[in-house]
Structure 1
Amino acid sequence: MTTSTTSESSAATPLIDLQALVVAVRRRRRLWCAMALLGLLIGAAVAVLLPPAPAAVTKVLVAHQEDQPNDTGTLIRTDVQLLGTTRIADQALRSLKSPEKPEDFMRDYRGTGLSNNVLQIDVTGDTDAEAVARAKALADAFVADHAKRVRDIADAEAKGLLAQRDRMQEELAGVNKQIGGRSPDSDPKASASMESLFARRAELTSRVADFSQRAEEARIGTPQLIAGTQIVDAPRAVRHSLPKAAVTNAVIGLVLGLFVGLALAAVGVVVADRPVLRRDIAANLGASVIAELPRRSGRLWQRRRTRVARERLTTSLARTVRGSAEPVSLLELGCARSTSVIALDLARAVAAQGPVVVIDGLPGPQLAKRRPKSGDPTVVSGERAAAVSPQERLIGVGSVAPGTAWTDLQYLGTQTVLVVRAGHGSAAWLHTVARQLADQRIPVIGVVLIDPDPRDRTDGTLWDGLHTALRGRSEIPARQNRTGGRRTERLPVWAAQGPDNDQEAR
């Protein structure tokens, strides 16, 4: 039964709660806002401290013999790759009379195909004049190399056609030698073979003329391609605007910093597993959220709302303390200052019906080193708690942070109100707090949530404690309190499941 219930609850629990993730990331806005601001400052600083090198740009119109309207840019991409070869770099360096190595020079320029026939060349240099000279030398070297390649291709094609023509002419000369001075009608016995020779001669004559014409045509288009490949945009220095570069780099740094900050916040939230929603905090502590208070006073128009919520909480806790014969404690987790303020307000409210003593069990100086005001209750340390008169009502204030002496909590109060800061403790530690309090037989009246998310709309009330809380809702008679009365208390789930588990928990 227990195994099936556990498996069903595990199956119903998502691996990552997106709502809790979004809320937790939003609460860590200081982190990702700081990262975004840092990225913005770094981007602007890079633009100012590391300005771009002097650069020049030029554009070359490249004519191709294989140009087609449906070309996908294969030819211009080939030209871009040819521009980045040591042959063209070496030719440009020779025209510049530079001793630089072609391999080093190739790192200072790049080609970009703007269209099927337009090539842009970007070059950097030590100065604007040097960058312009380099761009012109590269453009001239590319145009000359392209013209040479076109001419070589045309010459090779024409040479092949002329070679075919010469072979046909030799074969035609042999046929003419066989025919001699005879005519088709001169020898009736050999008329069939003569007709074949004359037909062959006519075919060879036609093919010789065709190869001659094709060889001429191969050279005719070459001057057009060479003339069509030219520099259409003279080399010019690229002007850089420092304000524009600073703004651009700052925006890029802002976006990158924001992305990195959000990623770090999300990863940190998933790894830390710190519940933020009141639903998750109540489920992990096994107690309902009874009130919420901001961590700080807030803006001017929010102070009245905060004061009203604090007064309502004080009234509710005072009613609980007056109606209980047992001492009540306030145990904090991540909000010692807020807990001390709540304890003092509660003590002042209860002091109207009798003397009140606040037992200070906080690790910090929130209560010990405060300046007492008129009408404030008496504050004693935990060591002097035993000397308090039985006629005085006790309100203990302690902590359940890591390092707590759990066995000392029962001396602060036999029932408690947990004051927890949202997102401070991990889920595992909230489980530990609930189990340790259950082991000490200290029931949790409720949870006061400090610094809640203002957009949290989840329910922090445990409607079915046996199935949703760490500790069940079954009640058994408890030990006699110091007034001689008996009280009932909530037992942990492991204590409510059977006698064996209860014995093991004890």
Structure 2
Amino acid sequence: MTTSTPDESSANPPLVDLQSLVVSVRRRRRLWYSMASLGLLAGAGMAVLLPPSPTAVTTVLVAHAEDQPNDTGTLIRTDVQLLQTTQIADKALQALKSRQKPEDFMQDYRGTGLTNNLLQITVTGDTDAQAVARAKALAEAFVTDHVRRMRDTAQAEAQALLDQRDRMRDELAQVNQQIGNRSADGDPKASASLESLFARRAELNSRIADFDERAADARTGTPQVVAGTQIVDDPRALRHSLPKAAATDAAIGFVLGLFLGLALAAVGTVVADRPVLRRDIAAGLGASVIAELPRRKGRPWQRRRTRLTRERLTVTLTRAARGSAEPVSLLELGCPRAAAVIALDLARAMAAEGPVTVVDALPRPQLTGRRQKPGDPTVVGAERAATVSPQDRLIGVGSVAPGTAWTDLQYLGTRTVLVVRAGHGSAAWLHTVARQLADQRIAVIGVVLIDPDPRDRTDGTLWDGLHTALRGRSERPARQPGGGASHAVQAVGEGQRRAERQPVWAARGPENDQEAR
């Protein structure tokens, strides 16, 4: 027969445990809920308190002499950049008779290339009328500048062609003069030279005609560009819808706030390193989780289940306390009220067997000074713990929060139940608590987890330490047919009793082990 054991943890654990990260971020939902709500309110408030300036828009059809079907938008992007120049801004301001600086005016408008030949101009102003007037002046200034540039380009190109034609004519005149001189000489040997001159004259005539045609084409293209560049959509003021703007800004603010909240929660979880899962808390404290309780009573339909859970926990702790001749304490970490209530329930359950005294040694006492009810045990403060009668069963309530006087905990009880709120203490502090309790010879019966994650499916039991869990003490030795227990079972019981008298902590140092021996 083979037995299987749980896989040991990896020697190199992952840098970030995704399961713990998700659980911790979900537990901090108040943070990212608040950030998302704040972003939503901020977005809606900005839409109401900071409405957009009056805006006008117009569309200009821009014709280019170099238009090609495969153009990727280079020409229209050039026009957009030309619109953002002080020259066009200054001409628009001159048309408006405004004294505003062109540099300042350029901040109030922008151009957008819709297609290769459509340019949309958006202008803001103090009023709708001013925005419309600005858009019209700016569009006209751009059209005028574009037409002027196209005409100047066409004129320069045509003039360059005509200049080249004139040079060809001068050369043609020289060739004609050479032909006339050779013909007048009548030298038969010059016939070969005349043929080359006639060929050169024909070539020059052809090139002159080509330059004339190209210059005419250049001039012909300018009217098409001038007629094609025009305002196709008259300037108009854009209507502003406050509900639509508020809804849009609120949605954007909500998304940004939610993202920021989730990021803060994730970063805080990684930096704080506060265990939330059962397995991590049990591993940090070196004790198994024996029960769980919600932090609050919850909704009405959940209160009955919470009450039954508390009753089962009281029964479990009563059995552990009844079977031990040593005093039992409850030490809290992040939940003093819950620890006080559990101690009071335990004392009430054990009051039927004899007098019980509860020592409230919490930094902020929860039980002393409260009104006593019929059947409640005696409650004293930490300063009166020495006056408790030896006949009374002692139940101590203390804390293992930072600043605890560790040497005083053994007077509350040499066996303890840790009441820990999930996600309250860091992993380093949980190890500190376990080490300090081991040094004080205080055996940990188990851990009561407060406010656990409802979706946590991890196991909070330490399977490699039966003596640290209640199940190790609840197992009864099997009887032999003759009525006696076997030697093996007696040895197991003796080993358990020795384990109860000694502190158990897997991370003890060599100096403590030598001292224990």
State the TM-score, normalizing by the size of structure 1: 0.92
- CA positional deviation for 1:199: 1.2
Deviation per CA, 1:355-391, whole angstroms, max 9, x where unpaired?
1111111122311132211111111111211221121
What secondary structure is seen at the aligned counterpart in 2 of 1:112? strand
The separation in 2 between residues aligned to 1:186 and 1:300, in whole angstroms, is 131
Deviation per CA, 1:33-88, whole angstroms, max 9, x where unpaired?
00110111111111111111111111111111222222111111111110001111
| Segment drifting more, 174-183 vs 95-104 | 174-183
What secondary structure is seen at the aligned counterpart in 1 of 2:502? strand
The separation in 1 between residues aligned to 2:211 and 2:14, in whole angstroms, is 80
Aligned residue in 1 for 2:501: 488
Pairing 1:25–2:22 present: no
Number of aligned pairs? 486
Structure 1 runs of 4+ off > 4 angstroms? Answer: 181-187, 503-506
Aligned residue in 2 for 1:285: 285
What secondary structure is seen at the aligned counterpart in 1 of 2:365? coil
Aligned residue in 1 for 2:481: none
Aligned residue in 1 for 2:380: 380
Aligned residue in 2 for 1:215: 215
Deviation per CA, 1:6-41, whole angstroms, max 9, x where unpaired?
xx9674311111110110010010011001101111
Amino acid at match of 1:454: P
- CA positional deviation for 1:148: 0.8
What fraction of aligned residue pairs are identical, expressed as a percent? 77
Pairing 1:44–2:60 present: no
Deviation per CA, 1:300-339, whole angstroms, max 9, x where unpaired?
1111111111111000000111111111000011111111
Q: Is the 8 A contact 2:329 2:396 kept in 1?
A: yes
What secondary structure is seen at the aligned counterpart in 1 of 2:234? strand
The separation in 2 between residues aligned to 1:15 and 1:90, in whole angstroms, is 61
The separation in 2 between residues aligned to 1:183 and 1:458, in whole angstroms, is 115
The separation in 1 between residues aligned to 2:499 and 2:308, in whole angstroms, is 35
| Segment drifting more, 86-95 vs 485-494 | 485-494
- CA positional deviation for 1:486: 10
- CA positional deviation for 1:117: 1.1
- CA positional deviation for 1:184: 11
What secondary structure is seen at the aligned counterpart in 2 of 1:180? helix
Aligned residue in 2 for 1:502: 513
- CA positional deviation for 1:492: 3.2
The separation in 2 between residues aligned to 1:492 and 1:425, in whole angstroms, is 19
What secondary structure is seen at the aligned counterpart in 1 of 2:249? helix
- CA positional deviation for 1:194: 1.3
Q: Is the 8 A contact 1:293 1:449 kept in 2?
A: yes
- CA positional deviation for 1:493: 3.4
Amino acid at match of 1:229: T
What secondary structure is seen at the aligned counterpart in 2 of 1:491? coil
Deviation per CA, 1:93-134, whole angstroms, max 9, x where unpaired?
111111111111101111111111111111111111111111
Aligned residue in 1 for 2:63: 63
Aligned residue in 1 for 2:369: 369
What secondary structure is seen at the aligned counterpart in 2 of 1:308? helix
Q: Is the 8 A contact 2:286 2:505 kept in 1?
A: no
Q: What's the Cα RMSD here?
A: 2.5
1:393/1:171 CA distance change after superposition, 3 Å: same
- CA positional deviation for 1:188: 3.8
Amino acid at match of 1:502: D
The separation in 2 between residues aligned to 1:121 and 1:152, in whole angstroms, is 25
What secondary structure is seen at the aligned counterpart in 2 of 1:389? coil
- Residues 266-277 of structure 1 mapped to structure 2, 5 A cutoff: 266-277=266-277
Amino acid at match of 1:348: R
Amino acid at match of 1:55: T
What secondary structure is seen at the aligned counterpart in 1 of 2:504? strand
The separation in 2 between residues aligned to 1:321 and 1:147, in whole angstroms, is 99
Aligned residue in 1 for 2:115: 115
Aligned residue in 1 for 2:34: 34
Q: Is the 8 A contact 2:58 2:120 kept in 1?
A: yes
- Residues 324-339 of structure 1 mapped to structure 2, 5 A cutoff: 324-339=324-339
What secondary structure is seen at the aligned counterpart in 1 of 2:424? coil
Aligned residue in 1 for 2:237: 237
State the TM-score, normalizing by the size of structure 2: 0.90
What secondary structure is seen at the aligned counterpart in 2 of 1:330? strand
What secondary structure is seen at the aligned counterpart in 2 of 1:302? helix
- Residues 34-183 of structure 1 mapped to structure 2, 5 A cutoff: 34-180=34-180
Q: Is the 8 A contact 1:282 1:461 kept in 2?
A: yes
Amino acid at match of 1:225: V
What secondary structure is seen at the aligned counterpart in 1 of 2:14? coil
Amino acid at match of 1:242: L
What secondary structure is seen at the aligned counterpart in 2 of 1:306? helix
Runs of 5+ in structure 1 lacking a partner? 1-7, 470-474
The separation in 1 between residues aligned to 2:235 and 2:224, in whole angstroms, is 24
Amino acid at match of 2:505: P
The separation in 2 between residues aligned to 1:486 and 1:158, in whole angstroms, is 108
The separation in 2 between residues aligned to 1:234 and 1:81, in whole angstroms, is 22
- CA positional deviation for 1:271: 1.1
Aligned residue in 1 for 2:396: 396
- CA positional deviation for 1:422: 0.4
Pairing 1:419–2:422 present: no
Pairing 1:359–2:359 present: yes
1:175/1:505 CA distance change after superposition, 3 Å: farther
Deviation per CA, 1:415-454, whole angstroms, max 9, x where unpaired?
0000000001111111111111011000100000000000
Amino acid at match of 1:488: R
- CA positional deviation for 1:502: 3.0
The separation in 2 between residues aligned to 1:293 and 1:402, in whole angstroms, is 23
Aligned residue in 1 for 2:462: 462
Aligned residue in 2 for 1:227: 227
Q: Is the 8 A contact 2:59 2:120 kept in 1?
A: yes
The separation in 2 between residues aligned to 1:505 and 1:205, in whole angstroms, is 120
- CA positional deviation for 1:404: 0.9
Amino acid at match of 1:493: A
Aligned residue in 1 for 2:312: 312
1:217/1:105 CA distance change after superposition, 3 Å: same
The separation in 2 between residues aligned to 1:144 and 1:207, in whole angstroms, is 36
The separation in 2 between residues aligned to 1:78 and 1:504, in whole angstroms, is 85
Q: Is the 8 A contact 1:494 1:502 kept in 2?
A: no
The separation in 2 between residues aligned to 1:182 and 1:162, in whole angstroms, is 30
Q: Is the 8 A contact 1:285 1:433 kept in 2?
A: yes
- CA positional deviation for 1:354: 1.1
Aligned residue in 1 for 2:477: none
Deviation per CA, 1:142-199, whole angstroms, max 9, x where unpaired?
1111111111111111011000000000111111112228869976432211111111
